Structure 1
Amino acid sequence: MAKLSIDISVSLSARTALRAVLAAALLVMLGANLPGHMSYDSVAQLYEGHFHIRETWGPALYAWVLGFFDRFIPGTSLYVTASAALFFGSLAALADLRPRTSWWGVLAAALVALTPQVMIYQGIVWKDVMFANCAVAGFVLVAWAGRVWPDRARRWTLLIAALVLMAAGAQVRQNGIIAGGFAALALGWIAAHGSWRRGIGWAVSALIALILVGQVETTLSEPPKAPTDTALSTGLRIVQSYDILGAVAMDPGYRTDALAAANPAAAAIVRARAKADYSGRRIDFTDRDTAIQAGMNALPDKAFARQWIDLITRHPVLYLKVRWEDFRWVFAPPVVDWCLPVYVGVDAPAEKMAPLRLKHRYVQSDVMLSNYASWFLDTPAMSHVFYFAVSLVLAGLFLWRRQDGDVPMAALQLAAAAFASSFFIISIACDYRYLYFSDLAALAGVLYAAVDPPLPWLKARWRSEG
């Protein structure tokens, strides 16, 4: 009787393994978090998107996006799935930007997927997450456009997709334009081909297109008969009043003549209550004091603007002292637990949730996710400072190597650092999510670096092989 011998061998490449790890991580993340975690902001924006109305000064585009997915499957399950797929797909596409894939990339993919920023935050319905995902995907698309540059059809398809995503991100996160600016610079570098004038032309054109497309996206997403968008003016007044409150709290001798000229009684209340109500942690503490709220509401925007300009121009040291106090809380919070490091469950006022058929939720799976995040809170894995440093190191390595994909990925790291730095000017609260893009960009950069490490001895080896 003849023996039948079958030899089956399986060859698993590092690139295939990396994709498998990311696919598995996406499924695990969705299984752990769907239908998504929603705070008051999330529910309010879904409410606006569902009913095509405008009640808050949150980004109209984000409400529209939530409403769009809600039409197909009520709630946020489909949105969370699409948003996460965009991010995980972007990570998977990084491997194909390099000629080789190291097994270090597989390990990095697993470690990145296990961080709270990926395993939990990707399931939170926040505009900060949408911005971060759009920005990371946009840079990856720009890198891919550079890789296929001679193929005009593919190049323009990729660039248009990048433009739409980057513009959307800039519209849902006010200072998100910083990411778009760095993406435009990266595109200019790629398109230059030895001509700096051509590169500048591409970069400027890309930035103009980004602004125009963003305005079109916002205009199309505005519901009928929407009130005038006052987000910019409201945000500016909040920052100005917060800075002035901090200045008075830190230096009781600081004169608020512009406020007093507009309303002496209101200015006196602000001065009297500043020390007790100001905190670098967040401006929200003033909401608990009806007296100072009444005083601040009685003062016109122009008075705050004049006082703020006086603070910056005539007392710059005091201004910087106030800003540093605010910035250190969002960038390197002394107690991260006080800065909403993670959010799980669903919670909002009943009048918002009932029409959407949402129920308050904080079940055992949410408790487990919260406990999981707590293991990372006081480690570098949940430190903006750490990711800031990582981004700067990676940017240097990528710019030193400057091979396919390196310049856009370096631009992503520099955009993350610049984005984090911008909060020195605009920070009004220390919520961890505000710098989420900086963390996510660094994580994407770590994975990209691990796929094909940009190390000196490897570059020397490549030269010798060439």
Structure 2
Amino acid sequence: MAGDRQRRSGGFAFEFSVNLQARTVFRWVLAAGLLAMLGANLPGHMSYDSVAQLYEGHFHIRETWGPALYAWMLGFFDRFIPGTSLYVTVSAAVLFAALAAMAGLRPRTSWWAVLAAAAAMLTPQVIIYQGIVWKDVMFANCAIAGVVLIAYAERAWADRPRRWALLICALLLMAAGAQVRQNGIIAGAFASLALGWIAAHAPGGPRRWRRGVAWAVGALVALVVVGQVETALSEPPKAPKDTALGTGLRIVQSFDVIGAMARDPTWRPQALIAANPTATGIVQARAKADYSGRRVDFVDRDQKIQVGLNALSDKAMSDQWFDLVFRHPALYLRVRWEDFRWVFAPPVIDWCLPVYVGVDAPEEKMAPLGLQHRYVQSDVMLSNYASWFLDTPVYSHVFYTVLSLALGGLLLCRRQGADIPMAALQFAGAAFAASFFIISIACDYRYLYFTDLAALAGLIYVALDPTLRRTSDPAP
């Protein structure tokens, strides 16, 4: 019997050693991935949007209808080290720290997690995109980190000070993410549902669904309020009125109406004709030539159609859009499907800006910031590297959405502590992609970046402990 105990003890020690080694290697892989990403991309890649927002943040002004909070964020880090090097480093560190922290949510670390993390580090979504100065990247990083913090709050639920500290940090991150990405509130909504589930199943009493609903609603309200406060505090002095929401609605509505004209030339936009028949005629004449579900830019570049659009009031366009949606739903859905398929499953991904490297913007924006146009050999190499994956599942939003749904279903079946918020992250990624059926106006790959990154994070989390059997959670 003593020999049996010794063998069992020896077996336990060996298993513990292997698991500890896997967890250590897992975190070292992530650390190496972070360093490799920074080495390949610093000081960061900047498109016109990036430079314009840095310009606003640096000079404390408001010239575009981009998110004020993102401009402030870039300006904040620019004060310490001019440019975007520090911002890129901190933004990426948030994501990599969250991924590394997921190991603490499971009682064991499988070697599958090491392989999954290494594979994720090699994807363009991580090795390149984390170096691009885009609000889409910040939103994805904040959302994933916020969900991981909620998962830790679930483990520390009985420790009220620690629980609230974790939840407040999660709230700040997710509120910031929701403010820089218009439909980012979807991630916050699913996180709120997860928090409600956790509260309803908290130890110390029977399941109290009223308490769960109160936590979920309270979290969502807090997310909106804190987000508005963050944006208000980031607005520069004497900034003009924020018209982003109204401008965005007008663009979507105009795009849909023009699409309907192009898809069905027999359709008569009665509300627009009643408001201004001459302007409506101009738009109708140019609609078929200008409309493409690929992007709204083709309409923007046509000066002739712009004359007609500018002569049509917001009210007339809104009335016509509602008429299209409710009285001609089949036509509306045809237009929306054309727009959505381009962003969700683009027929030619090369036309949808699958990656961006270098720095480029008008000189009047670059010079005051001390920036120079850049497209050097390292940028060429990164672009070539991304091209290897363009026609593979690695660059497929459909693949990542299906993966997220599968992972979310698996986690709901297992339901072990942190599984609930991580499942919420997976369903948030899928719902975020679905929301573009309503709002898509261009097929740029970055718009669904959160969907893809959430799936990668979920895959790593499941790989940490790929089992369906119930086990005890790790000690807090």
- Normalising by structure 2, we get a TM-score of 0.93
Cα shift at 1:153? 1.3
Q: What runs of 5+ residues in structure 1 fail to find an aligned partner?
A: 1-9
Distance 1:288 1:75 in 2: 31
Distance 1:407 1:257 in 2: 49
Query: Secondary structure of the residue that 1:228 maps to in structure 2?
Result: coil
Give 2:351's aligned residue: 338
> In the TM superposition, what whole-angstrom CA distance separates every residue of 1:1-33 from its partner, at most 9, and x where no partner exists?
xxxxxxxxx976110000000001000000000
Matched residue type, 2:248: G
Distance 2:438 2:98 in 1: 31
Give 2:58's aligned residue: 50
Distance 2:417 2:301 in 1: 54
Give 2:130's aligned residue: 122
Distance 1:200 1:125 in 2: 37
User: Does residue 1:70 correspond to 2:78, yes or no?
Assistant: yes
Give 2:11's aligned residue: none
Give 1:87's aligned residue: 95
Give 1:166's aligned residue: 174
Query: Secondary structure of the residue that 2:429 maps to in structure 1?
Result: helix
Matched residue type, 1:177: I
Give 1:4's aligned residue: none
Cα shift at 1:40? 0.0
Cα shift at 1:261? 1.4
Aligned Cα root-mean-square deviation (Å) = 1.1
Distance 1:289 1:63 in 2: 30
Distance 1:433 1:225 in 2: 32
Distance 1:217 1:73 in 2: 23
User: Does residue 1:192 correspond to 2:205, yes or no?
Assistant: no
Contact 1:397/1:454, CA 8 A, preserved across alignment: no
Query: Secondary structure of the residue that 1:174 maps to in structure 2?
Result: coil
User: Does residue 1:449 correspond to 2:459, yes or no?
Assistant: no
Cα shift at 1:257? 1.3
Aligned residue among 136, 140, 160 for 1:132: 140
Cα shift at 1:178? 0.5
User: Does residue 1:180 correspond to 2:188, yes or no?
Assistant: yes
Cα shift at 1:90? 0.4
User: Does residue 1:300 correspond to 2:308, yes or no?
Assistant: no
Q: What runs of 5+ residues in structure 2 fail to find an aligned partner?
A: 1-16, 202-206
Cα shift at 1:286? 1.1
> In the TM superposition, what whole-angstrom CA distance separates every residue of 1:191-212 from its partner, at most 9, and x where no partner exists?
1121100000000010110010
Distance 2:107 2:161 in 1: 22
Matched residue type, 1:426: I
Cα shift at 1:148? 1.1
Contact 1:98/1:404, CA 8 A, preserved across alignment: no
Distance 1:65 1:86 in 2: 14
Aligned residue among 16, 23, 31 for 1:15: 23
Distance 2:54 2:274 in 1: 43
Cα shift at 1:264? 1.1
Cα shift at 1:263? 1.2
Give 1:262's aligned residue: 275
Cα shift at 1:219? 0.2
Distance 1:242 1:256 in 2: 14
Distance 1:55 1:453 in 2: 49
> In the TM superposition, what whole-angstrom CA distance separates every residue of 1:232-261 from its partner, at most 9, and x where no partner exists?
000000000000000000000111111111
Distance 2:438 2:372 in 1: 38
Give 1:99's aligned residue: 107
Give 2:5's aligned residue: none
Number of equivalent positions:
450
> In the TM superposition, what whole-angstrom CA distance separates every residue of 1:67-89 from its partner, at most 9, and x where no partner exists?
00000000000000000000000
Cα shift at 1:288? 2.3
Distance 2:409 2:129 in 1: 28
Query: Secondary structure of the residue that 1:145 maps to in structure 2?
Result: helix
Identity %: 77
Give 1:311's aligned residue: 324
Distance 2:398 2:244 in 1: 29
Give 1:439's aligned residue: 452
Runs of 4+ more than 6 Å apart: none
Give 1:145's aligned residue: 153
